[in-house]
């Protein structure tokens, strides 16, 4: 977060990776021969190691990513919960399914694909690796993981915790070798930008490899006229500015019905004014620095472009002096379709505040985006909320709550937010061969 080099290593050669990939295939075959219950037991032991190391890992994430320490601790807690959740439910979900047909025996089984290559981002370096890897392991797959270079230290620590029990190999590949790795592996998981997702999906498609893409988001946060405005303002502020705004699933476009816009705006700006920038290790800090200087510069360019095209800055919107990659909580009003922030993902602490004529117009504005990850609707009329939720083009809708993820529910999007699902049983079934057996 301040440019200090904490860890570095060179990229490995293609020959080095190819040799370790071949060894990983052997480990995968042995691991797949274990029963699902036996694989679950391995994962439970890993969960214990992860829990014992969570304080050290959270501190590493804080130092490397720049997020507030308590946010990093929450990432580790959720990651431990994820491992134990799948260890508990996988034996039942992956059990053979008998199907009544004219055959003496007809059955569906869930078998591994082989080695899943994962290209992972920097913002949640433990959670996002495990979110794909744990269900893949449950199914008997092996995982080759290319972490983001800027979080190499915590990634290496995570890989060491996995140990020899779990079929995992780091892929310290140069970017130019990723396409060849896609061709050599059996499936692809990617979390990151829509631009890079398109490139990797093209490589996977060329070789007919199954892929799951969790890409960008520009989640709408709809506040209807009968909403609890105080709660909506608190939730909108928390969702937009947690993790320094560097989350694909954050509220980014706050769309408010015209009759309550003035009241909501005052409440929202009051919440934003409470945010405190500072050392992310300190408990009083509520707005952490951005991960890198280039990310801050890109965010500021989007804000400046919005102003040049008619938007107004209600707070923030400037580059602070001094050390670090801090950016103030920024709120933009009067955003229109000429502004880049109307169409692009804003990956940092800048919120777009938009006014809707009525609820139907709010839904229209919410859908007027290339992205389709999640959305929230705040209203006292729950029946109406469900009607509007069905009209939103997203992978998830939360009513009277900000968007989030739950281990028990599928997570993923549509349109430029990608395809496929993670978490729940749906995430478990993404990297399996759903195989039919028939016996006369």
Catalytic residue IDs? 214, 248
What is the full DSSP assignment across 210-248?
EEEEE----EEEEE-TTS-HHHHHHHHHHHHHGGGG--T
Provide the CA 196 distance to its chain's centre, in angstroms.
15
DSSP-assigned beta bridge partners for residue 375: 220, 397
Provide the CA 399 distance to its chain's centre, in angstroms.
20
| Spatial CA neighbour of 123 closest among 168, 166, 68, 160 | 68
| Spatial CA neighbour of 323 closest among 282, 284, 348, 293 | 293
Question: How is the beta sheet containing 432-439 ordered, strand by strand?
Answer: 97-98, 105-112, 432-439
Query: Are 436 and 215 spatial neighbours (Cβ–Cβ below 8 Å)?
Result: no
> Could you give the dihedral angle defined by the CA atoms of residues 381, 382, 383 and 386, in that order, rounded to the nearest 10 degrees?
130
3-state class (DSSP) for residue 288: coil
Token pair of 246 as six digits:
């560097």
Measured between alpha carbons, how far is 265 from 271 in angstroms, rounded to an integer? 10
Angle between helices 152-162 and 54-65 in degrees, nearest 10: 160
Which residue intervals of 143-292 are DSSP H helices?
152-162, 178-184, 194-206, 229-241, 261-273
Measured between alpha carbons, how far is 316 from 329 in angstroms, rounded to an integer? 5
**Contact partners, residue 372, CB within 8 Å, separation at least 6:** 393, 394, 395, 413, 414, 415, 416, 417
Token pair of 344 as six digits:
């692009």
């Amino acid at each position: 977060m301040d440019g200090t080099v904490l860890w570095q290593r060179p990229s490995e050669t293609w020959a080095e990776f190819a040799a370790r990939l071949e060894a990983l295939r052997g480990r995968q075959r042995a691991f797949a021969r274990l029963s699902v219950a036996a694989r679950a037991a391995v994962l439970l032991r890993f969960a214990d190691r992860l829990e014992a190391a969570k304080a050290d890992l959270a501190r590493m994430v804080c130092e490397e990513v720049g997020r507030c320490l308590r946010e990093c601790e929450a990432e580790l807690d959720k990651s431990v919960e994820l491992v134990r959740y799948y260890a508990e439910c996988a034996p039942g979900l992956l059990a053979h399914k008998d199907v009544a047909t004219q055959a003496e025996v007809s059955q569906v089984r869930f078998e591994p694909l082989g080695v899943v290559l994962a290209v992972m981002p920097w913002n949640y370096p433990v959670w996002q690796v495990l979110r794909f890897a744990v269900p893949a392991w449950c199914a008997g797959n092996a995982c080759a993981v290319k972490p983001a270079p800027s979080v190499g230290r915590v990634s290496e620590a995570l890989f060491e915790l996995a140990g020899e029990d779990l079929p995992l190999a780091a892929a310290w590949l140069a970017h130019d070798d990723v396409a060849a790795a896609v061709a050599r592996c059996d499936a692809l998981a990617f979390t990151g930008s829509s631009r890079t997702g398109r490139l990797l999906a093209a490589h996977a498609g060329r070789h007919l490899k199954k892929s799951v893409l969790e890409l960008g988001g520009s989640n709408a946060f709809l506040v209807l006229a009968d909403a609890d405005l105080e709660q909506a303002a608190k939730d909108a502020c928390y969702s937009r500015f947690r993790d320094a705004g560097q989350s694909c699933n954050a509220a980014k476009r706050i769309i408010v019905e015209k009759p309550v816009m003035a009241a909501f705006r005052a409440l929202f700006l009051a919440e934003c004014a409470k945010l405190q920038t500072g050392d992310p290790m300190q408990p009083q800090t509520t707005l952490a620095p951005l991960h890198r200087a280039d990310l801050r510069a890109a965010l500021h360019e989007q804000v400046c472009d919005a102003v040049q095209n008619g938007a107004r800055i209600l707070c923030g919107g400037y580059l602070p002096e001094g050390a670090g990659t801090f950016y103030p909580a920024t709120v933009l009003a009067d955003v229109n379709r000429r502004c880049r922030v109307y169409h692009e993902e804003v990956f940092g602490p800048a919120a777009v505040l938009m006014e809707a004529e009525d609820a139907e117009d709010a839904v229209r504005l919410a859908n007027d985006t290339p992205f389709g990850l999640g959305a929230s609707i705040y209203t006292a009329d729950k029946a109406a909320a469900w009607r509007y939720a069905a009209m939103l083009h997203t992978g998830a809708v939360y009513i009277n709550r900000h968007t989030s993820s739950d281990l028990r529910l599928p997570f993923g999007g549509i349109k430029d937010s990608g395809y496929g699902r993670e978490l729940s049983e749906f995430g478990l079934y993404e990297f399996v061969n759903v195989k039919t057996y028939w016996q006369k």
